């Protein structure tokens, strides 16, 4: 082999190795993302989580506490002007306490109930065991978003819902997710932005979450604490009689 052929071979080999390192496969991206969050074993070991913080919206800032329990139970409480607003789901019934309407708990239906069911069903990060849950994941590509390289994944859930997940190409943590939802006869683009990631008990979680509808900020939550596997009875999620 001539010197020129050897040199060309080395250059091509280096270029191929560099391209390979810069362009991970879908399986590698998923594995790195789960590892960045603490690893599959730790994530599967979480059976409940309690989150406390403050929710900021057009009406101001209010304390908020959320509970979630595997597989799909959830409860959220907000305190505003000394009044307690509750939204809960016990796996069957979506209910709320809204003191502006009535102090009596009542079952709710419609779009808000469907959204609550969907949110409660997302106990795990969407990439964990996604194949077993019937979710299809595609790697759309790697692109710059506001100057930051992102791996763009398209998730098609079992019910046909499509969500796009943008992972920071350096940290492999979610930067934001995008989903189109129907609100009555209208469609809206709902974006969730995640930042200020910190480790709690070996699991990496965002302490700042923003929700935008069609690019307009609707609400943001700044968390003070996460408690994993905190004791929770099922009655916490049931509608009071």
Measured CA distances, 184 to 111, 120, 181, 226 (Å):
8, 21, 10, 34
| Whole-number pLDDT of residue 22 | 65
Contact 37, 43 (CB under 8 A): yes
pLDDT score recorded for residue 184: 67
How do strand 186-200 and strand 148-156 relate by DSSP bridges?
unpaired
DSSP letter (8 states) at residue 81: T
CA 49/CA 54 separation, integer angstroms: 17
Q: Looking at residue 225, what is its pLDDT?
A: 98
Peptide bond into 76 cis (omega under 30): no
**Token pair belonging to 192:** 């969730």
Which stretches in the chain have pLDDT values below 70? 1-22, 183-184
Burial class of residue 94, CB neighbours in 10 A (0-12, 13-18, 19+): buried
| Distance set, CA 160 to CA 29, 50, 83, 163 (Å) | 23, 30, 38, 10
Q: Please identify which residue in the block is written with the tokens 């943008």.
A: 166
Determine the pLDDT at residue 12. Answer: 45
DSSP string, 139-184: EEEEEEETTEEEEEEEEE-TTS-EEEEEEETTT-SEEEEEEEEEET
Cβ distance 108 to 96 under 8 Å?
yes
Q: Is 31 exposed, middle or buried (0-12, 13-18, 19+ CB in 10 A)?
A: middle
Question: CB count, 10 Å around CB of 199?
Answer: 11
Domains of the chain: 25-237 (2.50.20.10)
φ/ψ (deg, to 5) at 68: -140, 140
């Amino acid at each position: 082999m001539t010197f020129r052929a050897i040199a060309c071979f080395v250059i091509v080999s280096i270029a191929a190795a560099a391209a390979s390192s810069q362009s991970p496969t879908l399986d590698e991206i998923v594995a790195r993302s789960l590892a960045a969050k603490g690893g599959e074993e730790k994530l599967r070991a979480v059976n409940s989580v309690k989150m406390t913080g403050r929710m900021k919206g057009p009406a101001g800032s209010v304390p908020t506490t959320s509970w979630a329990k595997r597989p799909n139970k959830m409860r959220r409480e907000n305190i505003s002007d000394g009044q307690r607003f509750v939204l809960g789901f016990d796996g069957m019934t979506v209910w709320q306490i809204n003191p502006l309407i009535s102090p009596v708990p009542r079952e709710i239906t419609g779009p808000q109930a469907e959204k609550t069911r969907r949110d409660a069903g997302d106990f795990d990060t969407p990439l964990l065991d996604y194949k077993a849950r019937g979710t299809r994941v595609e790697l759309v590509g790697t692109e710059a978003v506001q100057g930051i390289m992102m791996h763009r994944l398209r998730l098609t859930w079992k019910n046909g819902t499509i969500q796009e997940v943008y992972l920071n190409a350096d940290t492999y943590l979610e930067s934001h997710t995008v989903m189109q939802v129907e609100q009555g006869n209208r469609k809206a683009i709902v974006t969730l932005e995640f930042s200020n990631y910190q480790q709690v008990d070996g699991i990496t979680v965002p302490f700042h979450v923003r929700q935008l509808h069609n690019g307009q900020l609707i609400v943001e939550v700044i968390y003070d604490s996460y408690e994993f596997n905190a004791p929770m009875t099922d009655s916490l999620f049931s509608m009071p009689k």
